[in-house]
């Protein structure tokens, strides 16, 4: 339960950060997007950023169901669906930590941008940590 609680807190903090950016906040936004040759590789829209926040909240809710903080008895077979969902979340974060072998993840080749340095020091380790915490929670 401790692993799940820690993951939920992290997911909700990340969701809050994305909501801040979606609402027009600028702090940290420039370092959150991969870049090459000084140019961002994507320009996240307000809607896209808000959807990431919603997705992170859904992940936190599913994990809260898994560890017993929330209960939805009306869902038939909810135990299996929630367990599979938790394993999928763990896999998503593990894959993000590994990366695309070019711009993001531990095995990226492009390492000379602000994003790449922060990805190595913070973002990829955070994703690996979330994968581990969610995996622990999924397996219990």
**pLDDT (tens digit per residue) in 102-124:** 999 999 999 999 999 999 999 99
**Span 48-62, pLDDT tens digits:** 999 999 999 999 999
**Residue among 81, 68, 77, 79 nearest 4 (CA):** 68
Arithmetic mean of pLDDT, 67-85: 81
Using left for φ > 0, alpha for ψ between -120 and 50, and beta otherwise, residue 25 falls in beta
The phi, psi pair for 35, rounded to 5°, reads -140, 160
CB proximity list for 132: less than 8 A, separation 6 or greater: 3, 90
First to last CA, the chain: 9
Cβ–Cβ < 8 Å for 71, 8? no
With bands split at pLDDT 50, 70 and 90, how would you rate the model's confidence at 77?
Answer: low
Euclidean distance between CA atoms 135 and 140, whole angstroms: 9
Does 76 have pLDDT greater than 70? no
What is the per-residue pLDDT for 81?
87
What is the per-residue pLDDT for 44?
93
What is the per-residue pLDDT for 80?
86
Exposure of 17 in the CB half-sphere (CA atoms within 13 A): 13
What does pLDDT average to over the chain?
93
Percent of the chain with pLDDT over 70: 97
pTM: 0.91
């Amino acid at each position: 339960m401790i692993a799940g609680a820690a993951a939920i807190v992290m997911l909700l903090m990340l969701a809050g950060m994305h909501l801040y950016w979606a609402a027009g906040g600028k702090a940290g936004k420039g370092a959150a997007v991969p870049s090459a040759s000084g140019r961002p590789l994507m320009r996240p829209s307000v809607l896209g950023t808000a959807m990431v926040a919603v997705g992170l909240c859904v992940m936190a809710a599913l994990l809260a169901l898994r560890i017993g903080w929330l209960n939805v008895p009306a869902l038939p077979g909810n135990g299996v669906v929630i367990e599979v969902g938790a394993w999928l979340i763990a896999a998503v974060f593990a894959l993000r930590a590994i990366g695309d072998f070019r711009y993001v993840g531990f095995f990226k080749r492009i390492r000379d941008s602000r994003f790449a340095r922060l990805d190595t020091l913070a973002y990829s380790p955070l994703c690996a940590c979330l994968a581990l915490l969610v995996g622990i929670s999924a397996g219990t």
